[in-house]
Chains A and B, each alone.
Chain A
Amino acid sequence: MSTRPDTDPIIEFRNVSYRIRDAKGQTAKLLDGASFTVFRGETLVLLGRSGAGKTTALKLINRLHEPAEGDVRVEGKSTHEWDPIALRRHIGYVIQETGLFPHYTVAKNIALIPHLEGWPEDRIEKRVNELLALVGLDPQQFHQRYPHQLSGGQRQRVGVARALAADPPILLMDEPFGALDPLTRGEIRHEFQTLKRNLGKTIVIVTHDINEALLLGTRIGLVDGGKLVGTFSPEEFMRFKEPSAAPYIAQLRELERAGGTHESG
Protein backbone atom coordinates (compact mmCIF):
# COMPACT_ATOMS: atom_id res chain seq x y z
CA MET A 1 0.00 0.00 0.00
CA SER A 2 1.23 3.46 -0.82
CA THR A 3 2.03 5.72 2.10
CA ARG A 4 1.92 8.96 0.17
CA PRO A 5 -0.21 11.22 2.34
CA ASP A 6 -2.89 11.95 -0.23
CA THR A 7 -3.46 8.50 -1.68
CA ASP A 8 -3.64 6.27 1.35
CA PRO A 9 -7.34 5.61 1.99
CA ILE A 10 -8.07 5.58 5.72
CA ILE A 11 -11.87 5.60 5.67
CA GLU A 12 -13.93 4.25 2.80
CA PHE A 13 -17.70 4.18 2.37
CA ARG A 14 -18.83 1.78 -0.33
CA ASN A 15 -22.46 2.27 -1.21
CA VAL A 16 -23.45 2.50 2.46
CA SER A 17 -27.07 2.68 3.60
CA TYR A 18 -28.40 2.86 7.11
CA ARG A 19 -32.02 2.71 8.15
CA ILE A 20 -34.04 2.74 11.34
CA ARG A 21 -37.51 1.58 12.15
CA ASP A 22 -39.62 4.40 13.53
CA ALA A 23 -42.36 4.20 16.15
CA LYS A 24 -44.97 3.20 13.54
CA GLY A 25 -42.83 0.29 12.41
CA GLN A 26 -41.90 1.96 9.16
CA THR A 27 -38.31 2.04 8.07
CA ALA A 28 -36.64 5.31 7.28
CA LYS A 29 -33.40 5.56 5.36
CA LEU A 30 -31.09 7.91 7.22
CA LEU A 31 -28.27 7.30 4.80
CA ASP A 32 -28.74 6.08 1.25
CA GLY A 33 -25.99 4.61 -0.88
CA ALA A 34 -23.16 6.85 0.29
CA SER A 35 -19.71 6.31 -1.21
CA PHE A 36 -16.64 8.36 -0.39
CA THR A 37 -13.04 8.01 0.66
CA VAL A 38 -11.06 9.93 3.26
CA PHE A 39 -7.32 9.85 2.70
CA ARG A 40 -4.59 9.97 5.31
CA GLY A 41 -4.10 13.39 6.83
CA GLU A 42 -7.22 14.83 5.25
CA THR A 43 -9.99 16.71 6.99
CA LEU A 44 -13.34 15.87 5.50
CA VAL A 45 -16.19 18.08 6.64
CA LEU A 46 -19.65 16.59 6.27
CA LEU A 47 -21.93 19.56 5.77
CA GLY A 48 -25.70 19.40 5.86
CA ARG A 49 -28.89 20.34 7.65
CA SER A 50 -30.06 18.70 10.86
CA GLY A 51 -31.31 15.23 10.06
CA ALA A 52 -29.49 15.07 6.73
CA GLY A 53 -27.57 11.97 7.81
CA LYS A 54 -24.19 13.50 8.72
CA THR A 55 -24.09 12.17 12.27
CA THR A 56 -25.30 8.81 11.04
CA ALA A 57 -22.36 8.66 8.66
CA LEU A 58 -19.98 9.56 11.48
CA LYS A 59 -21.32 6.86 13.78
CA LEU A 60 -20.95 4.28 11.04
CA ILE A 61 -17.20 4.91 11.11
CA ASN A 62 -16.69 3.95 14.76
CA ARG A 63 -19.43 1.33 14.55
CA LEU A 64 -21.86 3.02 16.90
CA HIS A 65 -24.10 2.23 13.94
CA GLU A 66 -23.78 -0.69 11.56
CA PRO A 67 -24.62 -0.38 7.87
CA ALA A 68 -27.74 -2.07 6.53
CA GLU A 69 -26.12 -2.25 3.11
CA GLY A 70 -22.67 -1.61 1.79
CA ASP A 71 -19.38 -1.59 3.55
CA VAL A 72 -17.55 0.88 5.77
CA ARG A 73 -13.82 0.27 5.78
CA VAL A 74 -11.31 1.72 8.20
CA GLU A 75 -7.65 1.32 7.29
CA GLY A 76 -8.56 -1.20 4.64
CA LYS A 77 -10.60 -3.41 6.93
CA SER A 78 -14.40 -3.55 7.11
CA THR A 79 -15.71 -2.27 10.45
CA HIS A 80 -17.39 -5.67 10.78
CA GLU A 81 -14.01 -7.34 10.85
CA TRP A 82 -12.71 -4.92 13.49
CA ASP A 83 -13.23 -5.66 17.15
CA PRO A 84 -15.55 -2.73 17.98
CA ILE A 85 -13.61 -1.81 21.13
CA ALA A 86 -10.26 -1.86 19.31
CA LEU A 87 -11.78 0.15 16.46
CA ARG A 88 -13.15 2.83 18.79
CA ARG A 89 -9.91 3.13 20.74
CA HIS A 90 -8.21 3.67 17.41
CA ILE A 91 -10.50 6.64 16.70
CA GLY A 92 -10.87 9.78 18.80
CA TYR A 93 -14.46 10.90 19.25
CA VAL A 94 -15.63 14.41 20.11
CA ILE A 95 -19.32 15.28 20.40
CA GLN A 96 -21.14 18.57 20.76
CA GLU A 97 -22.33 17.91 24.32
CA THR A 98 -18.76 16.76 25.16
CA GLY A 99 -20.01 13.84 27.27
CA LEU A 100 -17.34 14.50 29.89
CA PHE A 101 -17.79 12.27 32.92
CA PRO A 102 -19.20 14.59 35.59
CA HIS A 103 -17.74 12.50 38.43
CA TYR A 104 -14.21 12.56 37.03
CA THR A 105 -11.76 15.44 37.29
CA VAL A 106 -10.46 16.97 34.09
CA ALA A 107 -7.26 14.95 34.46
CA LYS A 108 -9.13 11.70 35.02
CA ASN A 109 -11.39 12.38 32.05
CA ILE A 110 -8.42 12.88 29.77
CA ALA A 111 -6.63 9.86 31.24
CA LEU A 112 -9.59 7.56 30.68
CA ILE A 113 -8.43 5.63 27.62
CA PRO A 114 -4.73 5.53 28.56
CA HIS A 115 -5.91 4.08 31.89
CA LEU A 116 -8.03 1.42 30.23
CA GLU A 117 -5.11 0.66 27.95
CA GLY A 118 -2.95 0.10 31.00
CA TRP A 119 -0.41 2.86 30.54
CA PRO A 120 1.97 3.39 33.51
CA GLU A 121 0.91 6.20 35.87
CA ASP A 122 3.83 8.52 35.19
CA ARG A 123 3.32 8.30 31.44
CA ILE A 124 -0.39 9.09 31.85
CA GLU A 125 0.39 12.05 34.07
CA LYS A 126 2.85 13.41 31.54
CA ARG A 127 0.40 12.92 28.70
CA VAL A 128 -2.44 14.66 30.55
CA ASN A 129 -0.34 17.76 31.21
CA GLU A 130 0.93 17.77 27.65
CA LEU A 131 -2.61 17.60 26.27
CA LEU A 132 -3.96 20.27 28.59
CA ALA A 133 -1.22 22.60 27.40
CA LEU A 134 -1.93 21.60 23.80
CA VAL A 135 -5.60 22.63 24.01
CA GLY A 136 -4.70 25.85 25.77
CA LEU A 137 -5.60 25.04 29.36
CA ASP A 138 -3.09 25.63 32.16
CA PRO A 139 -2.41 22.14 33.59
CA GLN A 140 -1.80 23.53 37.10
CA GLN A 141 -5.10 25.30 37.13
CA PHE A 142 -7.38 22.79 35.44
CA HIS A 143 -5.97 19.40 36.39
CA GLN A 144 -8.20 18.83 39.42
CA ARG A 145 -11.34 20.67 38.33
CA TYR A 146 -14.61 18.93 37.67
CA PRO A 147 -16.52 19.44 34.41
CA HIS A 148 -19.26 21.48 36.11
CA GLN A 149 -16.62 24.00 37.16
CA LEU A 150 -15.68 24.72 33.54
CA SER A 151 -17.13 27.03 30.92
CA GLY A 152 -18.57 25.56 27.73
CA GLY A 153 -15.44 26.40 25.78
CA GLN A 154 -13.16 24.87 28.41
CA ARG A 155 -15.28 21.73 28.47
CA GLN A 156 -14.99 21.39 24.71
CA ARG A 157 -11.20 21.80 24.95
CA VAL A 158 -11.09 19.00 27.52
CA GLY A 159 -13.27 16.91 25.20
CA VAL A 160 -10.74 17.35 22.40
CA ALA A 161 -7.85 16.56 24.77
CA ARG A 162 -9.62 13.40 25.90
CA ALA A 163 -10.17 12.26 22.33
CA LEU A 164 -6.49 12.79 21.56
CA ALA A 165 -5.24 11.11 24.73
CA ALA A 166 -4.16 7.76 23.31
CA ASP A 167 -2.96 9.44 20.12
CA PRO A 168 -5.46 7.84 17.74
CA PRO A 169 -4.67 8.31 14.02
CA ILE A 170 -8.31 9.17 13.26
CA LEU A 171 -10.51 11.83 14.85
CA LEU A 172 -14.29 12.10 14.51
CA MET A 173 -15.98 15.31 15.60
CA ASP A 174 -19.74 15.78 15.71
CA GLU A 175 -20.59 19.50 15.73
CA PRO A 176 -17.67 19.99 18.09
CA PHE A 177 -18.09 23.74 18.43
CA GLY A 178 -21.84 23.92 17.91
CA ALA A 179 -22.86 24.60 21.50
CA LEU A 180 -20.48 27.51 22.03
CA ASP A 181 -21.22 31.20 21.82
CA PRO A 182 -20.07 32.74 18.50
CA LEU A 183 -16.98 34.45 19.95
CA THR A 184 -15.68 31.38 21.76
CA ARG A 185 -16.56 29.26 18.76
CA GLY A 186 -14.49 31.46 16.46
CA GLU A 187 -11.54 31.36 18.86
CA ILE A 188 -11.54 27.63 19.39
CA ARG A 189 -12.08 27.00 15.71
CA HIS A 190 -8.98 28.97 14.81
CA GLU A 191 -6.94 27.30 17.50
CA PHE A 192 -8.12 23.95 16.32
CA GLN A 193 -7.12 24.80 12.78
CA THR A 194 -3.54 25.38 13.95
CA LEU A 195 -3.67 22.33 16.17
CA LYS A 196 -4.84 19.99 13.46
CA ARG A 197 -2.10 21.14 11.12
CA ASN A 198 0.47 19.93 13.64
CA LEU A 199 -1.31 16.71 14.50
CA GLY A 200 -1.39 15.15 11.06
CA LYS A 201 -4.52 13.18 11.86
CA THR A 202 -7.22 12.00 9.53
CA ILE A 203 -10.29 13.93 10.64
CA VAL A 204 -13.99 13.80 9.84
CA ILE A 205 -16.03 16.72 11.16
CA VAL A 206 -19.80 17.05 11.04
CA THR A 207 -21.25 20.55 10.90
CA HIS A 208 -24.12 22.59 9.52
CA ASP A 209 -21.99 25.70 9.53
CA ILE A 210 -20.54 26.69 6.14
CA ASN A 211 -17.87 28.87 7.79
CA GLU A 212 -16.61 25.95 9.79
CA ALA A 213 -16.63 23.74 6.72
CA LEU A 214 -14.60 26.19 4.67
CA LEU A 215 -12.19 26.95 7.50
CA LEU A 216 -11.43 23.44 8.65
CA GLY A 217 -12.10 21.19 5.69
CA THR A 218 -9.59 20.10 3.11
CA ARG A 219 -12.67 18.66 1.46
CA ILE A 220 -16.35 19.22 2.00
CA GLY A 221 -18.90 16.45 1.68
CA LEU A 222 -22.36 17.83 1.15
CA VAL A 223 -25.08 15.65 2.67
CA ASP A 224 -28.71 16.25 1.82
CA GLY A 225 -31.73 14.09 2.66
CA GLY A 226 -29.65 11.01 3.46
CA LYS A 227 -27.61 11.25 0.26
CA LEU A 228 -24.08 12.36 -0.27
CA VAL A 229 -24.34 14.98 -3.01
CA GLY A 230 -20.59 14.91 -3.55
CA THR A 231 -17.25 15.90 -2.07
CA PHE A 232 -15.56 19.13 -3.06
CA SER A 233 -12.54 21.22 -2.27
CA PRO A 234 -13.59 24.52 -0.61
CA GLU A 235 -12.99 26.34 -3.92
CA GLU A 236 -15.05 23.81 -5.87
CA PHE A 237 -17.81 24.06 -3.32
CA MET A 238 -18.08 27.84 -3.78
CA ARG A 239 -18.49 27.36 -7.53
CA PHE A 240 -20.89 24.46 -7.21
CA LYS A 241 -24.20 25.15 -8.96
CA GLU A 242 -26.28 22.36 -7.45
CA PRO A 243 -29.48 23.65 -5.69
CA SER A 244 -28.60 21.76 -2.49
CA ALA A 245 -25.44 23.87 -2.10
CA ALA A 246 -27.13 27.18 -2.83
CA PRO A 247 -28.49 27.85 0.68
CA TYR A 248 -24.99 27.53 2.18
CA ILE A 249 -23.44 29.87 -0.31
CA ALA A 250 -26.31 32.31 0.21
CA GLN A 251 -25.75 32.08 3.98
CA LEU A 252 -22.12 32.94 3.42
CA ARG A 253 -22.91 35.96 1.23
CA GLU A 254 -25.30 37.18 3.87
CA LEU A 255 -22.65 36.89 6.57
CA GLU A 256 -20.15 38.72 4.42
CA ARG A 257 -22.61 41.49 3.78
CA ALA A 258 -23.43 41.71 7.48
CA GLY A 259 -19.86 42.61 8.34
CA GLY A 260 -17.19 40.12 7.46
CA THR A 261 -17.50 37.38 10.03
CA HIS A 262 -16.52 35.13 7.15
CA GLU A 263 -13.57 33.16 8.37
CA SER A 264 -12.58 31.07 5.42
CA GLY A 265 -9.51 33.23 4.64
Chain B
Amino acid sequence: MSLAEFFVRHRSEILQSTGEHVWLVGAAMLLAILIGVPLGIVVARRPWLSKPILGTANVAETIPSLALFGFLLPVPWLGDRADRLAIVALTLYALLPIIRNTSAGITGVDAAVREAARGMGMTDRQILWKVELPLSIPTVIAGVRIATVLTIGIATIAAAVGAGGLGEFIFRGLAMVNNQLILAGAVPAALLALGADFMLGVLERRLRPAGLTAH
Protein backbone atom coordinates (compact mmCIF):
# COMPACT_ATOMS: atom_id res chain seq x y z
CA MET B 1 0.00 0.00 0.00
CA SER B 2 1.41 3.37 -1.01
CA LEU B 3 1.68 6.25 1.43
CA ALA B 4 -1.01 8.16 -0.45
CA GLU B 5 -3.42 5.24 -0.20
CA PHE B 6 -2.62 4.94 3.49
CA PHE B 7 -3.40 8.61 4.01
CA VAL B 8 -6.68 8.36 2.12
CA ARG B 9 -7.78 5.26 3.99
CA HIS B 10 -7.01 6.80 7.41
CA ARG B 11 -8.05 10.33 6.52
CA SER B 12 -10.70 10.66 9.22
CA GLU B 13 -8.29 9.60 11.97
CA ILE B 14 -5.59 11.87 10.60
CA LEU B 15 -8.03 14.75 10.43
CA GLN B 16 -9.17 14.11 13.97
CA SER B 17 -5.63 14.00 15.29
CA THR B 18 -4.79 17.15 13.33
CA GLY B 19 -7.78 18.82 14.97
CA GLU B 20 -6.54 17.79 18.42
CA HIS B 21 -3.09 19.03 17.53
CA VAL B 22 -4.42 22.40 16.43
CA TRP B 23 -6.45 22.67 19.65
CA LEU B 24 -3.44 21.94 21.84
CA VAL B 25 -1.20 24.36 19.99
CA GLY B 26 -3.89 27.04 19.61
CA ALA B 27 -4.84 27.02 23.28
CA ALA B 28 -1.18 27.03 24.36
CA MET B 29 -0.32 29.90 22.01
CA LEU B 30 -3.26 31.96 23.19
CA LEU B 31 -2.18 31.50 26.81
CA ALA B 32 1.45 32.14 25.97
CA ILE B 33 0.58 35.41 24.20
CA LEU B 34 -1.68 36.54 27.05
CA ILE B 35 1.07 35.85 29.59
CA GLY B 36 4.18 36.46 27.50
CA VAL B 37 3.43 39.89 26.05
CA PRO B 38 2.75 41.53 29.45
CA LEU B 39 5.82 39.78 30.87
CA GLY B 40 7.86 41.06 27.93
CA ILE B 41 6.68 44.59 28.71
CA VAL B 42 7.68 44.12 32.36
CA VAL B 43 11.11 42.82 31.34
CA ALA B 44 11.65 45.86 29.11
CA ARG B 45 10.38 48.34 31.68
CA ARG B 46 11.91 46.91 34.86
CA PRO B 47 15.42 45.71 34.10
CA TRP B 48 15.84 44.26 37.61
CA LEU B 49 12.96 41.86 36.89
CA SER B 50 14.39 40.77 33.57
CA LYS B 51 16.85 38.27 35.05
CA PRO B 52 14.34 36.32 37.16
CA ILE B 53 11.68 36.29 34.42
CA LEU B 54 13.93 35.48 31.47
CA GLY B 55 15.89 33.03 33.66
CA THR B 56 12.77 31.09 34.58
CA ALA B 57 11.53 31.02 31.00
CA ASN B 58 14.98 29.94 29.89
CA VAL B 59 15.06 27.05 32.33
CA ALA B 60 11.61 25.88 31.18
CA GLU B 61 12.95 25.96 27.63
CA THR B 62 15.92 23.73 28.46
CA ILE B 63 13.96 20.93 30.13
CA PRO B 64 13.64 18.11 27.61
CA SER B 65 10.02 18.12 26.50
CA LEU B 66 9.32 14.50 27.32
CA ALA B 67 10.68 15.08 30.84
CA LEU B 68 8.60 18.23 31.30
CA PHE B 69 5.41 16.33 30.46
CA GLY B 70 6.48 13.69 32.97
CA PHE B 71 7.26 16.23 35.69
CA LEU B 72 3.85 17.84 35.36
CA LEU B 73 1.96 14.54 35.47
CA PRO B 74 1.79 14.25 39.31
CA VAL B 75 0.81 17.91 39.76
CA PRO B 76 -2.76 18.05 41.14
CA TRP B 77 -5.44 19.49 38.81
CA LEU B 78 -2.90 19.61 35.98
CA GLY B 79 -2.46 15.84 35.88
CA ASP B 80 -6.23 15.26 35.94
CA ARG B 81 -6.66 15.83 32.23
CA ALA B 82 -4.03 15.02 29.65
CA ASP B 83 -4.89 17.90 27.31
CA ARG B 84 -4.80 20.38 30.19
CA LEU B 85 -1.35 19.17 31.14
CA ALA B 86 -0.15 19.27 27.55
CA ILE B 87 -1.43 22.82 27.03
CA VAL B 88 0.35 24.06 30.16
CA ALA B 89 3.62 22.40 29.15
CA LEU B 90 3.39 23.80 25.62
CA THR B 91 2.61 27.25 27.01
CA LEU B 92 5.82 27.11 29.03
CA TYR B 93 7.78 26.34 25.88
CA ALA B 94 6.11 29.08 23.88
CA LEU B 95 6.70 31.76 26.52
CA LEU B 96 10.39 32.42 26.05
CA PRO B 97 10.39 33.57 22.42
CA ILE B 98 7.34 35.74 23.05
CA ILE B 99 8.73 37.39 26.20
CA ARG B 100 12.09 37.90 24.59
CA ASN B 101 10.77 39.38 21.36
CA THR B 102 8.26 41.65 23.09
CA SER B 103 10.98 43.00 25.32
CA ALA B 104 13.42 43.32 22.42
CA GLY B 105 10.77 45.13 20.39
CA ILE B 106 10.19 47.66 23.14
CA THR B 107 13.81 48.25 24.07
CA GLY B 108 14.59 48.46 20.34
CA VAL B 109 12.47 51.59 19.94
CA ASP B 110 14.76 54.44 18.90
CA ALA B 111 15.96 56.24 22.04
CA ALA B 112 15.39 59.59 20.34
CA VAL B 113 11.74 58.72 19.71
CA ARG B 114 11.29 57.81 23.35
CA GLU B 115 13.10 60.92 24.55
CA ALA B 116 10.98 63.13 22.33
CA ALA B 117 7.82 61.42 23.59
CA ARG B 118 8.79 61.95 27.21
CA GLY B 119 10.06 65.46 26.62
CA MET B 120 6.78 66.48 25.00
CA GLY B 121 4.85 65.37 28.05
CA MET B 122 3.45 61.95 27.20
CA THR B 123 2.74 59.76 30.22
CA ASP B 124 4.40 56.36 30.57
CA ARG B 125 1.15 54.69 29.60
CA GLN B 126 0.73 56.86 26.52
CA ILE B 127 4.31 56.10 25.48
CA LEU B 128 3.65 52.37 25.87
CA TRP B 129 0.37 52.27 23.95
CA LYS B 130 1.00 54.91 21.31
CA VAL B 131 4.69 54.47 20.66
CA GLU B 132 6.38 51.39 22.07
CA LEU B 133 3.75 48.73 21.40
CA PRO B 134 2.81 49.83 17.86
CA LEU B 135 6.49 50.00 16.94
CA SER B 136 7.07 46.55 18.49
CA ILE B 137 4.30 44.76 16.61
CA PRO B 138 6.51 43.25 13.89
CA THR B 139 8.98 41.92 16.48
CA VAL B 140 6.24 40.56 18.74
CA ILE B 141 4.60 38.70 15.84
CA ALA B 142 7.99 37.35 14.80
CA GLY B 143 8.25 35.91 18.33
CA VAL B 144 4.78 34.40 18.11
CA ARG B 145 5.76 32.90 14.77
CA ILE B 146 8.87 31.24 16.20
CA ALA B 147 6.93 30.02 19.23
CA THR B 148 4.13 28.57 17.09
CA VAL B 149 6.41 26.57 14.83
CA LEU B 150 8.30 25.32 17.88
CA THR B 151 5.10 24.37 19.69
CA ILE B 152 3.65 22.48 16.72
CA GLY B 153 6.71 20.25 16.78
CA ILE B 154 6.79 19.74 20.54
CA ALA B 155 3.04 19.05 20.65
CA THR B 156 3.67 15.68 18.98
CA ILE B 157 5.15 14.60 22.33
CA ALA B 158 1.85 15.35 24.09
CA ALA B 159 0.66 11.95 22.84
CA ALA B 160 3.06 10.37 25.33
CA VAL B 161 0.83 11.53 28.18
CA GLY B 162 -2.35 10.64 26.30
CA ALA B 163 -3.25 14.15 25.15
CA GLY B 164 -3.74 13.03 21.55
CA GLY B 165 -2.63 15.00 18.56
CA LEU B 166 -0.49 13.93 15.64
CA GLY B 167 2.06 12.39 17.98
CA GLU B 168 -0.32 9.43 18.36
CA PHE B 169 0.67 8.17 14.91
CA ILE B 170 4.33 8.78 15.51
CA PHE B 171 4.44 6.89 18.81
CA ARG B 172 2.34 4.06 17.39
CA GLY B 173 4.51 3.89 14.32
CA LEU B 174 7.66 3.79 16.43
CA ALA B 175 6.24 0.98 18.55
CA MET B 176 5.16 -1.03 15.51
CA VAL B 177 8.17 -0.08 13.40
CA ASN B 178 5.76 1.22 10.78
CA ASN B 179 7.09 4.11 8.72
CA GLN B 180 3.76 4.91 7.15
CA LEU B 181 2.26 5.42 10.58
CA ILE B 182 5.11 7.68 11.60
CA LEU B 183 4.67 9.70 8.41
CA ALA B 184 0.92 9.93 9.01
CA GLY B 185 1.84 12.00 12.07
CA ALA B 186 4.97 13.71 10.85
CA VAL B 187 3.76 14.94 7.45
CA PRO B 188 0.61 16.74 8.70
CA ALA B 189 2.63 18.21 11.60
CA ALA B 190 5.21 19.56 9.17
CA LEU B 191 2.47 20.96 6.93
CA LEU B 192 0.82 22.60 9.94
CA ALA B 193 4.11 24.22 10.89
CA LEU B 194 4.70 25.49 7.34
CA GLY B 195 1.14 26.79 7.09
CA ALA B 196 1.30 28.56 10.44
CA ASP B 197 4.65 30.06 9.55
CA PHE B 198 3.28 31.35 6.26
CA MET B 199 0.10 32.78 7.74
CA LEU B 200 1.88 34.51 10.59
CA GLY B 201 4.36 35.91 8.09
CA VAL B 202 1.45 37.44 6.19
CA LEU B 203 0.01 38.78 9.45
CA GLU B 204 3.37 40.28 10.34
CA ARG B 205 3.36 42.27 7.12
CA ARG B 206 -0.30 43.22 7.40
CA LEU B 207 0.01 44.53 10.95
CA ARG B 208 3.28 46.33 10.40
CA PRO B 209 2.38 49.98 11.09
CA ALA B 210 2.35 52.14 7.98
CA GLY B 211 5.45 54.29 7.86
CA LEU B 212 7.78 51.54 9.03
CA THR B 213 10.07 50.46 6.27
CA ALA B 214 10.37 46.72 5.79
CA HIS B 215 13.60 45.20 6.99
Contacts and interface: CB of A to CB of B under 8 A. Distances in A.
Contacts of A88: 118-121
B121 A95 contact: no
A99 interface: yes
A103 B121 contact: no
A116 B131 CA distance: 13
A209 interface: no
Nearest to A106: B211
Interface residues of B, number: 23
B211 A105 contact: yes
A87 interface: yes
Interface in A156-181: 159, 162-163, 172
A64 to B, nearest CB: 6
Contact of B135 (A93, A103, A148): A103
B118 A103 contact: no
A104 interface: yes
Contacts of B117: 99, 101
B115 A99 contact: yes
Contacts of A112: 120, 122
Given A101-B113, A102-B113, A95 B212 contact: no
A98 B116 contact: yes
Interface in A53-110: 59, 62, 64, 84-90, 92-93, 95-105
Interface string A112-152: 11001000000000000000000000000000001110000
Contacts, number: 75
B162 interface: no
A101 B131 contact: yes
Contacts of A148: 211, 213
Chain B contact residues: over half helix, strand or loop, or mixed?
A: helix
Contact of B116 (A87, A95, A103): A95
Contacts of A85: 121-123
Chain A contact residues: over half helix, strand or loop, or mixed?
A: mixed
- Of residues B110, B118, B130, which shows the largest number of chain A Cβ atoms within 10 Å of its Cβ? B118
B113 A99 contact: yes
A163 B115 CA distance: 13
B210 A103 contact: yes
Which bucket holds chain A's interface residue count?
20 to 34
Nearest to B124: A85
Nearest to B213: A148
Given A95-B116, A99-B116, A100-B113, A86 B121 contact: yes
Interface of B: 110, 112-123, 126, 130-131, 134-135, 209-213
12 contacts: A84-B121, A85-B123, A92-B120, A97-B110, A99-B116, A99-B119, A102-B135, A102-B211, A103-B209, A116-B122, A116-B126, A146-B210
Interface of A: 59, 62, 64, 84-90, 92-93, 95-105, 112-113, 116, 146-148, 159, 162-163, 172
Given A64-B118, A99-B112, 11 more contacts: A62-B119, A64-B115, A88-B119, A89-B120, A89-B121, A93-B120, A95-B112, A102-B211, A102-B212, A105-B211, A116-B122
